[in-house]
Chain A
Amino acid sequence: MIETGDDAPYDDQPDTFEDALIAARLCAIDPGLGGMVLRGGGEVRDALIAEMRGGLPAGAPMRRIPAHIDDDRLLGGIDLTSTLALGRAVSRTGLLVEADGGVVVVPMAERLSDAVAGRLAAVIDTGEVVVERDGAALRGQAQFLVVALDDGVEPDERIPSALAERLAFWIDLTDTTFQDHARILGAHEGQWEPAPWEGWSPQQAQGIAANFAEPSPQILEVLAATAAALGIDSARAPLFALRAARAAALLAGRHEIDEEDAALAARLVYAPRATRVPMPAPEPEPEGDTEEPPPPPPDSDGGEEERSEPTPPEDLVLAAALAALPKDVLARIATGHGRTATRTSGAGERRKSNARGRPMGARAGVPGGGVRLSLIDTLRAAAPWQKVRGSTDRIAVRRDDLRIRRFETRAQALTIFAVDASGSSALTRLAEAKGAVELLLAEAYVKRAEVALVAFRGVAAELLLPPTRSLARARRSLAELPGGGGTPLAAGLNAARELAESARARGKTPFVVILTDGRANIAADGTAVRATAQSDAEAAARAIGAANIASAFVDISVRPRPEGAALAAAMRARYLPLPRADAATMHAAVKSSEPR
């Protein structure tokens, strides 16, 4: 990006902050939009929240919820202190009910547990909190806007999709520079004062909303078609776009949604949700074969009307969305990492455990067998019942009161290397493959992950190294690996899959790395029939894909051919053609495709 120094909006991209401001206003106008996800952005986010609250009635509440809030505080429950003091059941409303009519801010939303996100989602859907917990049954209205602050750094760190799905606007502020901060906040000395919205007041808006025109069939169709063109499946997105367009029309003081509103809605709601870029219609190119950039964004204030014929609205709306596509969208689509990709992080999958890990609260249960008693929670559970149990000088604790601690652990990761040691591979590449495996081994050792090694050559596959953390053993068996013979690829893949499945059954998270040239010539039954060998290999690859095992396929042939890519696709593996890579490059490539 060129440093211009002045505050003119740079190049073609619509100004993110201006868009975010509009989004904040639209939310305040129509809380049905749910709210926004703000990724990155630092202090600029406070300005946006202030802007949003500026549009809500004065005194609208704002609550922040920490990522690991417990259900008592979030939803409400029995207030133990008052209950015991007063001798009657006193319940306490949760944070979400307190936030009714206002804003809920979720800091570090990427760390939000799926359970909390699920509760938030249920409340957003129904507009009320229903509590059935620990002797308390409550109901309370809770309609609020959510601002989810996403501080994720890695592309895979995303906020839970259950929550993101229900918020209309996803705004990426990670690229706002220091200059932007200074520009936006400087004038206000670090404190954003929402400026009065030009030509808009709640009273006036109510007047307009009262006789707001029904959306025209054309607008509905354009919004639905644009969502379809961008590969957005959820039915919520077009509804959000329609609401956003209506709010934009209200903001502009119009009684009807026009194309400009629809284009704005598409830019704000659809662009971040796009999962594919529509194929451009084959246009006749009279101006020669210059590379055409994507259609230019409609510039409301640009006034450049070069085209003589009016653009059809669906093109205009689609173009608006396309112009605002995040820069990395193509990369994300290409690697299959959609925004809604299943969230996993760290080395292994998360699991509940009763013995160790990060504390996750308590649940009813009997201690023993490695399960530990949670004393405070047990006493809390017993406290309200003391009177009815007739206890006087000592606390009466029953079996039902017992609470046990729960923890969340990460499953152990196991990296399985399946190395092709056949003649076709071995001659040139086996040494590099060994080098790369050794580097990965060393790293797995540091992360306390396990490794296993399967080699296939001749007529069968062999488990050279069962899952281990011993680096020395792994090195030795790798060094001793001889090369030469046929390529029983199917056998190698099957052996890797079986190992991965048995590891998974024992609670580990397997990751399979296949290093081969993809040229199978020995069938699964050991016969040397090339055609059968290839189809067997494909079936084995599909089985890995169907078993949902994370994998990478390193094609080490000197001239990669389509067979390799086809096998990788069947495995649903990341395909890494590395014809001339040395050990270090190969290591880096495999590492980058490890599941996070």
Chain B
Amino acid sequence: MHLMKVSFPFSAIVGQDEMKRALMIAAVDARIGGVMVFGDRGTGKSTAVRALAALLPPIPAAQAGYQDGTPRKGNVPVPFVDLPLGATEDRVVGALDLERALGAGIKAFEPGLLARANGGFLYIDEVNLLEDHIVDLLLDVAASGENVVEREGLSVRHPARFVLVGSGNPEEGELRPQLLDRFGLSVEVRTPQDLKQRVEILKRCDAFERGPEAFAEKWHKDERKALEQIARGRAALAGVDVPDEVLTFASRLCMAVGADGLRGELTLMRSARALAALGGANAATTDHIRTVAPMALRHRLRRNVLDETGSTVRIERALEGLAA
């Protein structure tokens, strides 16, 4: 219950490798289009996403936050906006500045959460609890990278490029498929069933709760390493080659599992490249594709009512089929 001034170190999260990998891939290449994290309650979804924000390397001020055209210098931390439940539309897109409108009778634009998230992350905990019209609005802006405000006699447009990260509990209602498809990657998290891991979780969470600063200090070195890995990945990304045979492999995989649309192949390619960049490789391989295939495709498979097999298993089977 104490105020989380220090967030739980990303590298101290026990297990959940797929979620961590997906978040790092999204941090390296924002064009992948966001991550949706599915999981039961108490599996550390929010912890991981909030931890990532604290970890990221700073970016130039000219690419972060509200840009009204005035030049900005220097570096700032990566913006991370945690969308509060109950946020109203005017605060999300931006609106007339109430203070100045009332006090001085001046019409001034007050940037909203979308402007604040520019260049960074926008996190929605419990996507299914958010009002539909807000979700639609967010997806729209996330796709176009620009926020257009036409209200209260104001007419403003500003860049709003951010990685959308959502979390949800599948038990509390399914997400609309068109919403799911907009997310680049999707991961499913479960509580580790291994007793040793469970004990470790308990131990680390307890240590963190009793002394967050001391705990963060202990993990400082690992955090530094993860940060450098992301920074190196970002720098190397443009130079990573994706050979033709890897692209062919990705296309064949998409066909084999019946993933709808071009978006699957594109995400598969981009995330394989980001993974290669993270690992310091100068070309993506079919192994990279294999690693990212479940997270890039599992939410794009057409559901077959006669086949209860989970999406992940279907992808794994298709991968085995392609290897043979």
Interface residues of A (CB under 8 A from B): 31-32, 34, 71, 74-75, 78, 83, 87-89, 114-115, 118-119, 122, 124-128, 130-137, 141, 143, 161-162, 165, 215, 217, 220-221, 223-225, 227-228, 233-239, 242, 340, 342, 352, 363-365, 384-385, 387-388, 390, 398, 400, 497, 539, 542-543, 545-547
Q: Is the CB of B102 within 8 A of A89?
A: yes
Q: Is the CB of B42 within 8 A of A387?
A: no
In B295-321, the 8 Å CB interface with A consists of 305-308
> Known contacts being A128-B3, A342-B172, is A384 close to B40, with CB within 8 Å?
no
The 9 closest A-B pairs by CB, nearest first: A234-B42, A135-B98, A132-B91, A388-B101, A236-B42, A224-B198, A118-B129, A132-B87, A71-B86
Closest chain B CB from A392 CB (angstroms)? 13
Q: List 18 A-B contacts (CB under 8 A).
A: A83-B102, A126-B3, A128-B3, A133-B87, A135-B91, A161-B171, A215-B206, A221-B195, A224-B195, A224-B201, A233-B40, A233-B191, A234-B42, A387-B105, A388-B96, A388-B101, A546-B305, A546-B308
Q: Is the CB of A132 within 8 A of B101?
A: no
> Known contacts being A215-B206, A236-B41, A237-B42, is A385 close to B96, with CB within 8 Å?
yes
Closest chain A CB from B211 CB (angstroms)? 11
> Known contacts being A235-B201, A342-B171, is A388 close to B107, with CB within 8 Å?
yes
Closest chain A CB from B302 CB (angstroms)? 13
Q: Is the CB of A127 within 8 A of B1?
A: yes
Q: Is the CB of B85 within 8 A of A115?
A: yes
Q: Is the CB of B191 within 8 A of A235?
A: yes
CB < 8 Å neighbour of B85 from A122, A220, A390:
A122
Q: Give the distance in Å from the alpha carbon of A340 to the alpha carbon of B41 in the complex.
A: 10
Q: Is the CB of A547 within 8 A of B305?
A: yes
Q: Is the CB of B195 within 8 A of A235?
A: no
Q: Which residues of A contact B89 (CB under 8 A)?
A: 364
Interface residues of B (CB under 8 A from A): 1-4, 40-44, 46, 82, 84-92, 95-96, 98-99, 101-103, 105-107, 110, 112-113, 125-126, 129, 131-133, 151-153, 171-172, 190-191, 193, 195, 198-199, 201-203, 205-206, 209, 305-308
Q: Give the distance in Å from the alpha carbon of A530 to the alpha carbon of B49 in the complex.
A: 54
Q: Is the CB of A88 within 8 A of B103?
A: yes
CB < 8 Å neighbour of B151 from A31, A88, A400:
A400
Q: Which residues of B contact A547 (CB under 8 A)?
A: 305
Q: Give the distance in Å from the alpha carbon of A89 to the alpha carbon of B102 in the complex.
A: 7
Q: Give the distance in Å from the alpha carbon of A152 to the alpha carbon of B271 in the complex.
A: 48
Q: Is the CB of B107 within 8 A of A127?
A: no
When C-beta atoms are compared, the residue in chain B nearest to A227 turns out to be B198
Q: Give the distance in Å from the alpha carbon of A32 to the alpha carbon of B1 in the complex.
A: 5
Closest chain B CB from A281 CB (angstroms)? 16
CB < 8 Å neighbour of B195 from A228, A234, A384, A545:
A228
Q: Which residues of B contact A217 (CB under 8 A)?
A: 199, 203
Q: Which residues of B contact A130 (CB under 8 A)?
A: 82, 84
Closest chain A CB from B127 CB (angstroms)? 11
> Known contacts being A228-B195, A398-B152, is A134 close to B90, with CB within 8 Å?
yes
When C-beta atoms are compared, the residue in chain A nearest to B110 turns out to be A135
Closest chain A CB from B130 CB (angstroms)? 9
When C-beta atoms are compared, the residue in chain B nearest to A236 turns out to be B42
Q: Give the distance in Å from the alpha carbon of A311 to the alpha carbon of B150 in the complex.
A: 71
Q: Is the CB of B102 within 8 A of A125?
A: no
Q: Is the CB of B126 within 8 A of A162?
A: yes
Q: Is the CB of A340 within 8 A of B86?
A: no
Q: Is the CB of B3 within 8 A of A127?
A: yes
Q: Give the distance in Å from the alpha carbon of A119 to the alpha carbon of B41 in the complex.
A: 15
Q: Which residues of A contact B132 (CB under 8 A)?
A: 352
Q: Give the distance in Å from the alpha carbon of A225 to the alpha carbon of B201 in the complex.
A: 12
Q: Is the CB of B129 within 8 A of A542?
A: no
When C-beta atoms are compared, the residue in chain B nearest to A343 turns out to be B172
Q: Is the CB of B41 within 8 A of A165?
A: yes
Closest chain A CB from B305 CB (angstroms)? 5
Known: A161-B41, A388-B105, A546-B307. 5 other contacts (CB 8 A): A32-B2, A115-B86, A124-B1, A133-B87, A143-B2
Q: Which residues of A contact B190 (CB under 8 A)?
A: 233
Q: Give the distance in Å from the alpha carbon of A130 to the alpha carbon of B103 in the complex.
A: 24
When C-beta atoms are compared, the residue in chain B nearest to A136 turns out to be B98
Q: Give the distance in Å from the alpha carbon of A118 to the alpha carbon of B86 in the complex.
A: 10
Q: Give the distance in Å from the alpha carbon of A217 to the alpha carbon of B198 in the complex.
A: 12
Q: Which residues of B contact A365 (CB under 8 A)?
A: 133
Q: Is the CB of B306 within 8 A of A543?
A: yes
Closest chain B CB from A547 CB (angstroms)? 5
When C-beta atoms are compared, the residue in chain A nearest to B4 turns out to be A126
Q: Which residues of B contact A128 (CB under 8 A)?
A: 3
> Known contacts being A161-B41, A388-B106, is A539 close to B306, with CB within 8 Å?
yes
Q: Is the CB of B41 within 8 A of A137?
A: no
When C-beta atoms are compared, the residue in chain A nearest to B207 turns out to be A214
When C-beta atoms are compared, the residue in chain B nearest to A239 turns out to be B205
Closest chain A CB from B155 CB (angstroms)? 13
Q: Give the distance in Å from the alpha carbon of A237 to the alpha carbon of B1 in the complex.
A: 15
Closest chain A CB from B196 CB (angstroms)? 9
Closest chain B CB from A266 CB (angstroms)? 13
Q: Is the CB of B85 within 8 A of A238?
A: no
Q: Is the CB of A31 within 8 A of B1?
A: yes
Q: Is the CB of A127 within 8 A of B4?
A: yes
From B90, B201, B305, residue with most partner A Cβ within 10 Å: B305
Closest chain B CB from A537 CB (angstroms)? 13
> Known contacts being A89-B98, A89-B102, is A228 close to B193, with CB within 8 Å?
yes
Q: Give the distance in Å from the alpha carbon of A352 to the alpha carbon of B90 in the complex.
A: 22
Closest chain A CB from B21 CB (angstroms)? 20
Closest chain A CB from B111 CB (angstroms)? 11
Q: Is the CB of B152 within 8 A of A400?
A: yes
Q: Is the CB of B198 within 8 A of A228?
A: yes
Q: Is the CB of B42 within 8 A of A135?
A: no
Closest chain B CB from A417 CB (angstroms)? 21
Q: Is the CB of B3 within 8 A of A220?
A: no
Q: Which residues of A contact B126 (CB under 8 A)?
A: 118, 122, 162
Q: Give the distance in Å from the alpha carbon of A134 to the alpha carbon of B199 in the complex.
A: 45
Closest chain B CB from A324 CB (angstroms)? 21
Q: Is the CB of B101 within 8 A of A234?
A: no
Q: Is the CB of B101 within 8 A of A387?
A: yes
Closest chain A CB from B232 CB (angstroms)? 32
Q: Which residues of B contact A238 (CB under 8 A)?
A: 198, 201-202
From B106, B107, B206, residue with most partner A Cβ within 10 Å: B206
Closest chain A CB from B168 CB (angstroms)? 11
Closest chain B CB from A369 CB (angstroms)? 15
